[in-house]
Structure 1
Amino acid sequence: MPFIFRGQNLDALLGDPLNAANSLYGIMSAAEPQFMEDLRQHWKTHVRTTPGVNGTAWRPALKAFSAIEGFWGNTYSDHRIAQVMYGPAHSVATQAVTGVGSSAQFLRDFEAARDEAFYVFFQATSVNQLAGVSFKATYYHKDVSSLFEQRPHSKLRAIVSRRVIDTAQIMLRILYGNMNMGWGSLYSTRTLATTLLLAQMHNSALAHYRSGYTGRRCYNQSAVAFTLLTFSYIVAQAWVDKNYEYNEQRWYYFWKLVGSLLGVDSRLIADDHAEAATLWDLFFARGECFGGTPAPYPTTLDPNRIDDDLWNGYAVQPEANLIQWVPAFVVTQMRNSVRWGKYMLGL
């Protein structure tokens, strides 16, 4: 069965690297290659100066991202990066991804989308899905599973827990710029660079692995496009099941932009919940994920589709430094009290 999405056969690009020309990552690579190389070198420096944990090859990444977000100059600002992408040579390609014609409108839409994503992430239902389902569901994908099977520390519960918390902290840094605080607007000026750094980290660390199941590179378009679904679609479905109110357009726009900054081809990213559901089913029907049809219900894990060692090695132990996000949680709840009020009243 061919991988046909939105009427296009996408078989040819599933195994491609994460540098799609029609992605914001690809656009930035063409528009400002030195900036992208600087990000890659920033990550390389971090790797060289950070020891592995417990004698393994895994190195915590958060310090590298903290360094980018702690830089207050213009070099890494969202405004500057948006202006580069909307420069004369790249504005048409950028508009095709973002759907808007100016850097100012893009930044407004991106901020609104991040704000919505921050609100959705900071709810008990979402946290439960992310920690209990989303991360482990990535193992459904054959190339993702093969990648982690080749990395011995992916089966050590202590390391896996650190890795999951590390990823969560990076995502929170990408999201946190939406808070309406005096210094919040400054903090948000590096969210694009932070996501591009995440792309460079993955490209540097994972691009050389080959999948034992498909023979392709493990870190490919298909694997990352599916991983996006495990965070976007799974969480959204949990909200749909509970009849919680969320802005579907902004939620999926956030993930579209994140995926594009990671180098995912625009043709493999869902624009709304219905498309996400179609993609989810297609990954299983096409054989990109284990088990074939029917696809598992997104919010319920099927352990029979996941490698036993990876399944048994998964763990999440909250860390004390997550307490720093409590004020953000309180402010987020207060800002969205009207939504919760309507829900409690059944309106």
Structure 2
Amino acid sequence: MPFTFRGQNLDAILGDALDAPNSLFGIMSAADPQFMQGLRQHWTKHAQATPSVNGWKPALKAFSDIAADWWNTYSDHRLAGILYGAQAHATATAAVTGAQSSAQFLRDFEAARDEAFYVFFQATSVNELAGVSFQATYYHYDVSALFEQRPHSKLKAIVSRRVIETAQIMLRILYGNMSMGWGSLYSTRTLATTLLLAQMHNVALQHYRSRYTDRRCYNQSAVAFTLLTFSYVVAQAWRDKRYEFNEQRWYYFWKLLGSLLGVDTRLIANTHAEAAELWDLFFEHHECQGGPGAPYPTTLDPRRIHSELRAGYDVQPEANLLQWVPAFIVTQMRNSLRWGKYLLGR
């Protein structure tokens, strides 16, 4: 049976590279190829200057360098203006975002980002992310094949650092990757930060091939499923506990994030019902290990994970995440009514 989602057979795109023409990554590549090449070179230069740790390259400085830039090179307003500049690009962008202007897009994106920040910074979400989401990515055959080929993925100390770094990059995306204080006066850097993450992965992971599927490991299917392990798993946990959050904005954030990473729009869920359907499809069509019968999203099934990868996962808290406490406090104050309902379990 074909991999059919929203009435479309997507078999042909599952193994494609992360540069879909109908993604914000693809549109930006067409609208300003020089900027996109500059991001790629920015990462390459950083990687060449960074000593590896058992084959792993710490990446955070590349992202902090964007935040420290005084000019508007990486600003959301500038990049949104490029996406909505030429008519052809504006039409393609609007088809992804649903917004007809750069100003409306930024308002919608910032509202979705704020919602995601609020959801991420609750105990329920942290528990699901640390206990389920990161490891659930290994369900996917190609994700598993990728990390099986990277020796540091089986070393607890490196895995812990890599996961914490991923969390820090996500927090930069959620907070706009601004330098605290004066940085907030000129612009956020969410779009550029996510596009840099895409270029980092494109450079670092594009040459790996899967022993399970004989296609590139870093592909549309693998990243689309990875998005689900964060968006759908956390949303289901909140649903199970009947906590209040804006589900539409939550999935809109993940749609835009995935599109900036180069995921084809046809492989991204817009609603919780679509996310549940897509989750099941990945297992029914043998994109993920274990065959038909998808595991419940909030309960990790270790039988579906490569034993050495499972043994290498041992994530511990890290003190430098405390730098985000001020942002957490601001976000909670802006959502004080919902915060009270959350604490009361309503």
Distance 2:342 2:51 in 1: 48
> 1:286 aligned to 2:285?
yes
Structure 1 match to 2:309:
310
TM-score by length of 1: 0.96
Aligned-partner residue type, residue 39 of structure 1: L
Length, aligned pairs only: 344
CA RMSD of aligned residues (A): 1.6
Displacement, 1:178?
9.7
Per the TM alignment, residue 342 of structure 1 is displaced from its structure 2 partner at its CA by 3.8
Aligned partners of 2:68, 2:181: CA distance in 1, in Å?
16
Q: How does 1:37-186 map to 2 (within 5 A)?
A: 37-53=37-53, 56-88=54-86, 89-177=88-176, 183=182, 185-186=184-185
Q: What's the TM-score, normalizing by structure 2?
A: 0.96
Kindly indicate whether the alpha-carbon contact (under 8 Å) linking 2:177 and 2:189 is maintained by their aligned counterparts in 1: no
Distance 1:346 1:314 in 2: 31
- In structure 2, list runs of 5 or more residues that go unmatched: none
Q: Tell me, what secondary structure is at the counterpart of 1:257?
A: helix
CA distance in 1, matches of 2:295, 2:261: 26
Structure 1 residue 345: deviation in Å?
6.0
CA drift of 1:72 comes to 2.3
**Which amino acid is 2:226 matched to?**
T
Checking the alignment, whether the CA contact within 8 Å between 1:23 and 1:97 is kept in structure 2 is yes
Q: Provide the secondary structure at the position in 1 that maps to 2:189.
A: helix
Compute the displacement of 1:177 (Å). Answer: 3.0
Change (3 A) 1:47 1:343: closer
Cα distance in 1, alignment partners of residues 269 and 176 from structure 2: 24
2:243–2:345 CA contact under 8 A, matched in 1: no
Q: Which amino acid aligns with 2:29?
A: S
Counterpart check, 1:36 vs 2:59: no
How far residue 346 of structure 1 moved from its aligned partner, in angstroms, is 7.2
Q: Distance in 1 between matches of 2:345 and 2:226?
A: 34
d(CA) in 2 for partners of 1:189, 1:46: 22
Identity %: 80
Report the equivalent of 1:22. 22
Is the CA contact (8 Å cut-off) linking 1:178 and 1:188 kept in structure 2? no
Question: Which letter maps to 2:30?
Answer: A
Unaligned runs of 5+ in 1: none
Measured in 2, the distance between the counterparts of 1:152 and 1:105 equals 45
CA shift digits 1:49-75 (9 cap, x unpaired): 10012xx11011000000011112111
Tell me the residue number matched to 2:212: 213
Post-superposition Cα deviations, 1:304-336, rounded to whole Å, max 9, x if no partner, equal 100000000011121111111122222222222
- The answer as to whether partners of 2:220 and 2:263 remain within 8 angstroms in 1 is yes
Change (3 A) 1:346 1:40: closer
Question: Does the CA-based 8 Å contact 1:31-1:85 persist in structure 2?
Answer: yes
CA distance, structure 1, for counterparts of residue 122 and residue 185 of structure 2: 25
